[in-house]
Every structure is written in structure tokens, then in C-alpha cells.
Amino acid sequence: MSILQVERLTKLFGGILAVNDVSFTVEPNEIVAIIGPNGAGKTTVFNLISGIHTPTRGAVRLNGRSLAGLGPYQRAALGLGRTFQNLRLFENMTVLENVMVGHHQCAPYGMFAAALRLPNARRLEAETRVDALARLELVGLCARAHEPITALPFGQQRLVQIARALAGAPRLLLLDEPAAGLTRGETDALDELIKTLARQGLTILLVEHDMQLVMNLAQRIIVLNFGVQLAAGAPREISSHPEVIAAYLGEKRSRFTPTFDAPSPNGDGSNAAPAAPPPPPLLEVRNLTTCYGSLRALDAVSLAVKPAEIVAVIGANGAGKTTLLNTIAGLLAPRAGTIRFDGREIAGKSAESIVAGGISLVPERRQIFSTLTVRDNLALGAFLHRGAHAQIEQDLAYVFELFPILKKREHQLGGTLSGGEQQMLAIARGLMSRPRLLLLDEPSVGLAPLLVQEILRIVRELCARGTTVLLIEQNAQAALEIAHRAYVFETGRVALEGTPAQLAMNSEVQRAYLGALF
């Protein structure tokens, strides 16, 4: 018997058909992948299976049992576990405590027994702790069990999500974009972890954009597009399916080549006419050091961003890239060093004053307001201009021109947008304060290749219209395709800097970070 049966699953959000008549099965001990472009309905299918959304039509069966009317916790108790595309971890807990939460449906005692510390509750809590440590050992994080979850880099937090899902002893595990934001090395480790789980008898249903990972892991692949099942079959069939290639993979690229064919904004081409002295940097960071307690996340970092440039910062997870942006934006106070914007010192100033001065941050995890409409999310980005209704309407028209899909979704709740649409909304919200410098943190995480190219096109257009961009990006190929210059971070320091062409020829970069792309 199939462990999972999905029968003619359909979901409407108002007048939007997010999933349309989708049917498939998953057999015991299989690894099955669901792929498709952003907005194809992949996460919606996961939400329907796990009970977060109720189907408009159709049915879901687990081990032959209908899941109709059962909540997520009841489905978890029947052996269904899942992770989420956007991290959902308890930031006030340790790594170990986050994993222990995954045992909640297995606990045979109630709140009062736990509060009174009855002997049975204490014994079971000790057993839960031992099991949670074993789950962390499996994902390679046992040594960090007692650290705050916020001390872990993004990629390791994704592994904690998996460990927490495993703590509920599922028979079927749904993994939603588990490789998003991981380095190639971390993705290879994830590949081996999933294979280990499958060898141990776990059935896995996977949503993922990393095609190398999907093709290496999946025994069968289901392709969705606009909520409809486009194709299904073995990896070899799917990889050569013309409609799949057109809808999801886009053009294949054999090697990295920067797409800028003009000199950098200050001119360095050999045939260029003598240029005027370059303008001073719009942003200049010198010897910047930022710490989390005793942990030095940035160590004497220096960099500069000139007007009308796109400057990329690339490097492995935990290298300090996001810490850099958060320090520039005023969300973290530096321990030492200077940050000068347009000639003025801004280190240590409030985030609001930094936004008012012309810098806007688009955060790594989007952080849109899921219960507000697209228009309301955008209006919040214009909080400095409240009362200036004509100006806000003008800015709305500008971002709707850049992102026509947001105009169509203007009155839709932010939480019902696809991952790609949410990323567009996050960028558009950042533009509502009319920044001179836009800080973009990992805009490509979890996005399909075609949509990544669309985001990159918009970033280039913003630069052409006069907005300077400092881009943090895990996807090195994507970043170097559009950057004028780039810095490579390693353990909180600047390891290398140069033009994309220079970094492309640097064997140290290729070995340490970019090797798989060349």
C-alpha cells in the first residue's frame, strides 16, 4: 500500500487557483521530489498534506487513512513530519530545546505533570533529551546542542529543523526547500543525510530548487506549474522533458560569465578615454568589528561602495555577510571601526535615522507581514513619509512598474504569495523609503532559476536608475553575473576582492567557494 495518496487535490485562495486537480502517490522507503517554478503550488501542496490548509476539493490519505478534518498535530501523531521553507524555530531556546519540542506529540503526560515535576514526567524528559541529542548527532550538531539557536548560521538552523522533525519519529518526512541558503559543501552533506535517513526506512517527499540535489536523490519527480501537474517520472525523463526545461530550468549555463560588458562605473577599459577623478565612495567601511558576546562575527572588515555600483559580498554561511548588513543598517552596534555614508559617520546610529539618511535593508528572510495585504506591506515601507499621500502613491506606481505581479496581487494577503512574489514584495517595500543605497540580503534564496534571473534583472535596472546596491548572496554565480566588484568573506574577514572577472580566474576562490560553478 502507498504510504501517501494525494487524490485530485485542489485549493482556491479567493479567485486564485493555487493547486488544481493534483494526484500522486508516494511508496514506502521512496524519495520523491516535487519541483516547479515559484508560484507553482509546491508549498501549498505541502500545507494541504500537513493540515495547515484545508483543500477546496480532493483528498489526502496516509497509510490508507483519510486525513480529512485532522489538524497538523494529529497528522504528526500519525507519523507525518515536515520542515518549512522559512525557518520556524524558537529563538529564545537552545538548539537542544528546539529539537526536544519535536517530541511533544509523543509525550504521554500533560501540562500539570510537567509543571509539578512528577517522577514519570522527569524520567520521560530525560529520555527525550537523550533522543534529541541523538537526532543532533545525526545532523552533525551535537557539539552545539546547548548554544542559543540564534548563534547558529542559517544553514545549520535548517539542519536543526530536520532534527526537530525527526524527533517526532515520522514515517513520512516532508522537506520544504532544505537546501535553500546552504553552501555546496553543506548541500553535499545534506544529500548524504537524506540518503542515510532513507536507508533507515524513512520515506521522504522533497520540495527543492537545487536540481543537482534533486536529480541525485529522487527516485521519482513530480513537476508542478501554475498549480497543475505538468509531468511525473524518473529523473532522467524529467531532465530531458522539454516542457519542464522551459517552465523550470530555463537555459543551461556551462560556465560562469559576467553579464556586464561595459567598464565599471568609474571606467577601467583599456580603450576608454581619460576619465575624471572617481567620486568618493558612497559607503565606506573601515576596520569594522562586530561581536555576539565573545564571538567576533566581523573582524576588522574594510570595504567601499561607489555611487551607481552593484557590489557583491559572497562567502560561506557563517562568514559574517548578514552581520555586515545588519551593522550598517543599525540593527547591531559595532565593537570598533567606522561606517561612513555620503561622508557622514553612521556607526552606532539608530536604524530609523539610517533609513532616513538614505539606506534601506531588505532582510534575508523577507520578513513581510503575512496578515497584511501587499499594498499595506508597501505602505509600511513608506513610514518616514506618512502623511505625504501623493508621494506614497507616486512611489507605489514606481514599484508596481518594476514588479507588475505585485499590482495584480495588490489586495492579496502577503502570506498567500509564493516565495518569489514575497521576495519581490520585500524588495519593493525597501524601495518605498526612496533609498540611495539598497542593502539586499540573499534575494535568491529558495527561488527557481528563472525567477532568480528576473530578480537579477530588476537589481540591474535599479542600479541603472540610480540606486546603489550592496548585495549579499550565497549564490555566487548569480551575484557575480551582475556585480561591478565583489568581496569574498571568510570567517568574518575580507579574504579577497576584485572584479567578477578577476575572481573568476582566482584558483583560491574556485577551490574555497566557487569551484562547482566553473
Question: Is 50 a residue whose pLDDT tops 70?
Answer: yes
For the chain, the helix, strand and coil percentages under 3-state DSSP, each to the nearest 5: 40, 25, 35
Nearest to 516 by CA among 248, 216, 195, 208: 216
Question: Is 266 a residue whose pLDDT tops 70?
Answer: no
| Collapsed DSSP state (helix, strand, coil) of residue 513 | helix
Predicted confidence at residue 279, as pLDDT, reads 78
Burial of 483 (0-12, 13-18, 19+ CB in 10 A): buried
Distance CA 258, CA 456 (A): 12
Quickly state the pLDDT bin for 417 (edges 50, 70, 90).
confident
Q: How many CB atoms lie within 10 A of CB 214?
A: 21
Predicted confidence at residue 518, as pLDDT, reads 33
Quickly state the pLDDT bin for 195 (edges 50, 70, 90).
very high
Of residues 377 and 251, the one with the higher pLDDT is 377
Is 43 within 8 Å of 11 (Cβ atoms)? no
Question: Is 248 a residue whose pLDDT tops 60?
Answer: no
User: What is the strand order of the sheet 65-66 is part of?
Assistant: 16-26, 4-13, 57-62, 65-66
Residue ranges of domains in the chain, CATH in brackets = 1-79+170-251 (3.40.50.300), 90-169 (no CATH), 281-358+435-518 (3.40.50.300), 365-434 (no CATH)
DSSP, res 362: E
Question: Is 270 a residue whose pLDDT tops 60?
Answer: no
What is the per-residue pLDDT across 78-102, written as a single tens digit (0 to 9) for each? 999 999 877 788 888 999 999 998 8
Average pLDDT over residues 321-328: 93
What is the per-residue pLDDT across 336-382, written as a single tens digit (0 to 9) for each? 999 999 999 999 899 999 999 999 999 887 788 888 999 999 999 88
Q: Please give the mean pLDDT across all residues of the chain.
A: 85
Predicted confidence at residue 382, as pLDDT, reads 86
Predicted confidence at residue 56, as pLDDT, reads 96
Residues 6+ apart with CB under 8 A from 268: none
Question: Is 244 a residue whose pLDDT tops 50?
Answer: yes
The model carries a pTM of 0.60
Of residues 189 and 62, the one with the higher pLDDT is 62
The alpha helices in 258-320, defined as continuous H runs, are none
Predicted confidence at residue 106, as pLDDT, reads 59
Is 352 within 8 Å of 359 (Cβ atoms)? no
Distance CA 240, CA 356 (A): 51
Question: Is 515 a residue whose pLDDT tops 90?
Answer: no
Of residues 504 and 176, the one with the higher pLDDT is 176
Predicted confidence at residue 297, as pLDDT, reads 84
Predicted confidence at residue 267, as pLDDT, reads 45
DSSP, res 413: B
- Max intra-chain CA distance, the chain: 83
Quickly state the pLDDT bin for 257 (edges 50, 70, 90).
very low
Quickly state the pLDDT bin for 254 (edges 50, 70, 90).
very low
| Collapsed DSSP state (helix, strand, coil) of residue 168 | coil
Torsion 185-96-443-263 (CA) sign: negative
Nearest to 18 by CA among 67, 54, 60: 54
Predicted confidence at residue 511, as pLDDT, reads 47
Distance CA 435, CA 438 (A): 6
Average pLDDT over residues 51-67: 96
Question: Is 116 a residue whose pLDDT tops 90?
Answer: no
Predicted confidence at residue 512, as pLDDT, reads 44
Residues 6+ apart with CB under 8 A from 165: 81, 82, 83, 102, 173
The alpha helices in 66-153, defined as continuous H runs, are 72-77, 95-100, 111-115, 119-138
